[in-house]
Amino acid sequence: MFVTRRIISVIILILLIGCLSNTNESNPKSTGDKVVIRNFHLTVPCDLCKKTTVVVNKVVNDYDGRVELISVDVQRDPIAVAKFGVKYVPYVTVGELPDYIVVNFKGNMTLFEENLRNAIEKTLRKEK
Protein backbone atom coordinates (compact mmCIF):
# COMPACT_ATOMS: atom_id res chain seq x y z
CA MET A 1 0.00 0.00 0.00
CA PHE A 2 2.76 2.46 0.98
CA VAL A 3 4.71 1.64 -2.21
CA THR A 4 1.64 2.25 -4.38
CA ARG A 5 1.04 5.67 -2.82
CA ARG A 6 4.70 6.52 -3.23
CA ILE A 7 4.63 5.57 -6.93
CA ILE A 8 1.47 7.60 -7.51
CA SER A 9 3.06 10.60 -5.73
CA VAL A 10 6.15 10.37 -7.93
CA ILE A 11 4.02 10.16 -11.10
CA ILE A 12 1.99 13.20 -10.05
CA LEU A 13 5.19 15.12 -9.30
CA ILE A 14 6.64 14.24 -12.71
CA LEU A 15 3.44 15.36 -14.44
CA LEU A 16 3.39 18.59 -12.46
CA ILE A 17 7.00 19.38 -13.31
CA GLY A 18 6.19 18.70 -16.97
CA CYS A 19 3.30 21.17 -16.85
CA LEU A 20 5.36 23.82 -15.10
CA SER A 21 8.14 23.56 -17.64
CA ASN A 22 5.63 23.77 -20.47
CA THR A 23 6.85 26.32 -23.00
CA ASN A 24 3.56 26.92 -24.79
CA GLU A 25 3.05 30.32 -26.37
CA SER A 26 -0.22 30.86 -24.52
CA ASN A 27 0.89 33.43 -21.99
CA PRO A 28 3.41 35.82 -23.51
CA LYS A 29 3.13 39.47 -22.54
CA SER A 30 1.91 41.91 -25.13
CA THR A 31 4.54 43.78 -27.06
CA GLY A 32 4.28 47.53 -27.23
CA ASP A 33 0.81 48.98 -27.55
CA LYS A 34 -0.85 45.79 -28.79
CA VAL A 35 -3.85 44.41 -26.98
CA VAL A 36 -3.70 40.65 -26.40
CA ILE A 37 -6.79 38.54 -26.97
CA ARG A 38 -6.70 34.96 -25.76
CA ASN A 39 -9.21 32.59 -27.35
CA PHE A 40 -9.49 29.48 -25.15
CA HIS A 41 -10.88 26.44 -26.97
CA LEU A 42 -10.83 22.64 -27.10
CA THR A 43 -8.44 20.59 -29.25
CA VAL A 44 -11.42 19.53 -31.35
CA PRO A 45 -13.52 22.70 -31.26
CA CYS A 46 -17.26 22.54 -30.70
CA ASP A 47 -19.62 24.44 -33.00
CA LEU A 48 -19.80 27.38 -30.61
CA CYS A 49 -16.00 27.57 -30.39
CA LYS A 50 -15.82 27.62 -34.19
CA LYS A 51 -18.37 30.43 -34.40
CA THR A 52 -16.66 32.58 -31.76
CA THR A 53 -13.28 31.97 -33.42
CA VAL A 54 -14.64 33.36 -36.70
CA VAL A 55 -15.86 36.51 -34.90
CA VAL A 56 -12.60 36.91 -32.95
CA ASN A 57 -10.51 36.56 -36.13
CA LYS A 58 -12.70 39.13 -37.93
CA VAL A 59 -12.33 41.64 -35.08
CA VAL A 60 -8.56 41.09 -34.83
CA ASN A 61 -8.20 41.71 -38.59
CA ASP A 62 -10.24 44.92 -38.28
CA TYR A 63 -7.70 46.39 -35.83
CA ASP A 64 -4.79 46.32 -38.32
CA GLY A 65 -2.04 44.97 -36.09
CA ARG A 66 -3.05 46.74 -32.86
CA VAL A 67 -4.47 43.47 -31.51
CA GLU A 68 -2.57 40.23 -31.04
CA LEU A 69 -4.49 36.94 -30.99
CA ILE A 70 -3.27 33.99 -28.98
CA SER A 71 -5.16 30.75 -29.46
CA VAL A 72 -5.06 28.55 -26.34
CA ASP A 73 -5.95 24.87 -26.43
CA VAL A 74 -7.28 24.22 -22.91
CA GLN A 75 -6.35 20.55 -23.10
CA ARG A 76 -2.71 21.31 -23.89
CA ASP A 77 -2.08 24.33 -21.67
CA PRO A 78 -3.46 23.77 -18.15
CA ILE A 79 -1.25 26.52 -16.71
CA ALA A 80 -2.89 29.25 -18.82
CA VAL A 81 -6.28 27.76 -17.98
CA ALA A 82 -5.50 28.04 -14.27
CA LYS A 83 -4.00 31.55 -14.54
CA PHE A 84 -7.07 32.93 -16.32
CA GLY A 85 -9.64 30.95 -14.35
CA VAL A 86 -11.16 29.27 -17.38
CA LYS A 87 -14.23 27.30 -16.35
CA TYR A 88 -15.90 26.79 -19.74
CA VAL A 89 -15.25 27.15 -23.45
CA PRO A 90 -15.38 29.19 -25.52
CA TYR A 91 -13.65 31.67 -23.20
CA VAL A 92 -12.18 34.89 -24.58
CA THR A 93 -10.05 37.35 -22.62
CA VAL A 94 -8.82 40.80 -23.58
CA GLY A 95 -5.73 42.24 -21.90
CA GLU A 96 -3.10 40.98 -19.49
CA LEU A 97 -3.13 39.62 -15.96
CA PRO A 98 -4.40 40.87 -13.56
CA ASP A 99 -6.51 43.44 -15.44
CA TYR A 100 -7.99 41.33 -18.19
CA ILE A 101 -11.60 41.41 -19.35
CA VAL A 102 -13.59 38.24 -20.00
CA VAL A 103 -15.90 38.58 -23.00
CA ASN A 104 -18.82 36.22 -22.46
CA PHE A 105 -20.85 34.68 -25.21
CA LYS A 106 -24.53 34.81 -24.34
CA GLY A 107 -26.15 33.27 -27.40
CA ASN A 108 -25.92 36.27 -29.73
CA MET A 109 -22.94 36.62 -32.08
CA THR A 110 -23.67 40.30 -32.81
CA LEU A 111 -23.68 41.12 -29.09
CA PHE A 112 -20.51 39.04 -28.59
CA GLU A 113 -18.73 40.98 -31.34
CA GLU A 114 -19.88 44.31 -29.89
CA ASN A 115 -18.73 43.33 -26.39
CA LEU A 116 -15.38 42.18 -27.76
CA ARG A 117 -14.83 45.49 -29.59
CA ASN A 118 -15.81 47.45 -26.46
CA ALA A 119 -13.32 45.47 -24.36
CA ILE A 120 -10.56 46.11 -26.90
CA GLU A 121 -11.30 49.85 -27.02
CA LYS A 122 -11.35 50.03 -23.22
CA THR A 123 -8.01 48.23 -23.01
CA LEU A 124 -6.47 50.43 -25.72
CA ARG A 125 -7.56 53.58 -23.86
CA LYS A 126 -6.15 52.23 -20.60
CA GLU A 127 -2.73 51.52 -22.16
CA LYS A 128 -2.28 55.11 -23.41
> How many Cβ atoms sit within 10 Å of the Cβ of residue 55?
19
Q: At what angle do helices 109-127 and 47-62 cross, to 10 degrees?
A: 40
Query: Is the whole-model pTM more than 0.85?
Result: no
Query: What residues does each domain of the chain span?
Result: 32-127
Cis peptide before 98 (omega within 30 of 0): yes
The phi and psi torsions of 74 (rounded to 5 degrees) equal: -65, -25
What is the rounded distance in angstroms from the CA atom of residue 98 to the CA atom of residue 116? Answer: 18
Q: Where are the alpha helices (DSSP H) in the chain?
A: 2-20, 47-62, 78-84, 109-127
Decide if 67 contacts 35 (C-beta within 8 A): yes
Output the pLDDT for position 84.
93
pLDDT tens per residue, range 40-80: 999 888 888 899 999 999 999 999 999 999 999 999 999 99
- CATH architecture for the domain at 32-127: 3-Layer(aba) Sandwich (3.40)
* Rounded Cα–Cα distance for residues 102 and 123 (Å): 12
